[in-house]
Chains A and B, each alone.
Chain A
């Protein structure tokens, strides 16, 4: 017995010393910057908070019979993309370029198996992988605004999985991976701090394409489709605004001067957008609406998303204002053309952020331009940067539009995408989920 016990403690001691050896080895690889790590952990949580925020925002805007189905569109993305991101998403987005730079690949990122002890710039790579994963989660969920109230749940699930694979991962690789072709375009690459192109323009353009593909909801636009709960929409908008600080300021991937700049510009632009929309409505309708106000917040947030790292406060004010004006008239155009982008994903995310991607070129701080000039050895002008931005925007539009069209076609002709008339009339909650959201408060 005693011999066994001695043997046991010997093995334990050996295991412990081996463990220490391994962790010392890991420690030599990189020292953890606890400040930056803490902020990135916080940002990751803040961006995740935006998804329930989006669920509430969209959920409040549809009719009572579709409230649960619409909220599920946001929530299910956390699960589906959460799994796909772990398996191959991080690798396809942030691995080394393959297929002529169309996608990335890194065997270490496959199933996240090789980053267990990896520390990048003082931050554990797990945190970076999860932070980036949250962006991949919210992007397909944004598109749900365009296909609201009229798709099969299973069709939607397949759609977002394919869209993530063939649109999101390539775009994220082009714009954010260190060897992406847009990341290296021009003097210092396409400026897209937190996903003006990758997230908002790609989701907005896809929203327009998928809404045209699916056609209108029955009765639209003759029968006015009224929001079932604007209180929930306002709470959702509030969560989005708060979460956006993680979205933009977290995208600086450290904790310092750039982070403070991004956070400040985010706040300024969102406020400026909201004020502008209020003023527009006060002039045109003589009444300021709550839905208009939250639309203004979003218009201000999406326009500053690509720009928060490079513009100054005055630029943020102007961008927020311009975005609200552009989005306001984009929504007017929707009524004129009659396409059913139900919850205005294209009208706000596509138009507002597209505007930001281009217009930020004229508000870049001097030090950034000086560094860009130094990098190429000759003078780098705002107009030069504008054309780089235009290139990034065009590439995004082409990939998102083509990808969405093909994916929609595939989903419709395999497991079905567009809901039948009877199921659409009865509502998604009853016909697809077998539940209902509220009691007897609302007519339909």
Chain B
């Protein structure tokens, strides 16, 4: 079991979701996050006071998958989020120790699927 965490551009979320659904991956958690990468920041002006914004709005996806879905998930996220520009984001893949479905108390492979 793996936990895939991806940071993507907020406006790419619909495309990523669509690509994941097409790859038959329907379970995910999405949160708004602020992040800092190669893209650097920009400045905003409020009544003439310049305000440097270094942390940019990003969307974080968390998807728990069984081994045979890892590559498909990564491919789908890339398909939806890639533009070729700085700021497209990153994908992290890590081992998942345990997974329990609360309702049925199933564990492991069945709990994810």
Contacts and interface: CB of A to CB of B under 8 A. Distances in A.
B45 A223 contact: no
Contacts of A435: 44-46
A440 B44 contact: no
Nearest to A427: B11
Interface in B5-30: 10-11, 13-14, 30
Given A440-B34, A440-B57, A443-B30, A219 B44 contact: no
18 contacts: A65-B11, A219-B14, A425-B11, A430-B42, A434-B43, A434-B44, A434-B45, A435-B44, A436-B44, A440-B34, A440-B57, A441-B32, A442-B32, A443-B13, A443-B32, A443-B59, A444-B10, A444-B13
Nearest to B32: A440
Contacts of A430: 42
Nearest to A218: B11
Nearest to A219: B14
B14 A223 contact: yes
B52 to A, nearest CB: 12
A18 interface: no
Contacts of B32: 440-443
A83 interface: no
Secondary structure dominating the interface of A: loop
A443 B46 contact: no
A65 B59 CA distance: 14
Interface residues of A, number: 15
A430 B56 CA distance: 11
A428 to B, nearest CB: 13
Given A440-B34, A444-B11, 11 more contacts: A65-B10, A65-B11, A430-B42, A434-B42, A435-B45, A440-B32, A440-B57, A443-B10, A443-B30, A443-B32, A443-B59
A279 interface: no
Contacts, number: 29
A10 interface: no
Contacts of B44: 434-436
Contacts of A426: 11
Interface of B: 10-11, 13-14, 30, 32, 34, 42-46, 57, 59
Secondary structure dominating the interface of B: strand
Nearest to B17: A223
A194 B34 CA distance: 49
Interface in A385-444: 425-427, 430, 434-436, 440-444
The CB with the most chain B CB atoms within 10 A, among A223, A426, A436, A443, is that of A443
B102 to A, nearest CB: 26
A151 B30 CA distance: 30
B19 to A, nearest CB: 13
Contacts of B57: 440
Contacts of A436: 44
The CB with the most chain B CB atoms within 10 A, among A426, A427, A444, is that of A444
A427 B34 CA distance: 17
A219 B59 CA distance: 18
B86 to A, nearest CB: 13
B80 to A, nearest CB: 12
Contacts of A425: 11
Contacts of A427: 11
Contacts of B43: 434
A219 B86 CA distance: 22
Contacts of B14: 219, 223
A435 B11 CA distance: 17
A436 B32 CA distance: 15
A425 B43 CA distance: 18
Interface string A344-383: 0000000000000000000000000000000000000000
A221 to B, nearest CB: 12
Contacts of A219: 14
A434 B43 CA distance: 7
A442 B57 CA distance: 10
Nearest to B9: A425
Nearest to A63: B11
A44 B37 CA distance: 52
A440 B35 CA distance: 12
A223 B14 CA distance: 7
A64 to B, nearest CB: 9
Nearest to B45: A434
B31 to A, nearest CB: 9
Nearest to B56: A430
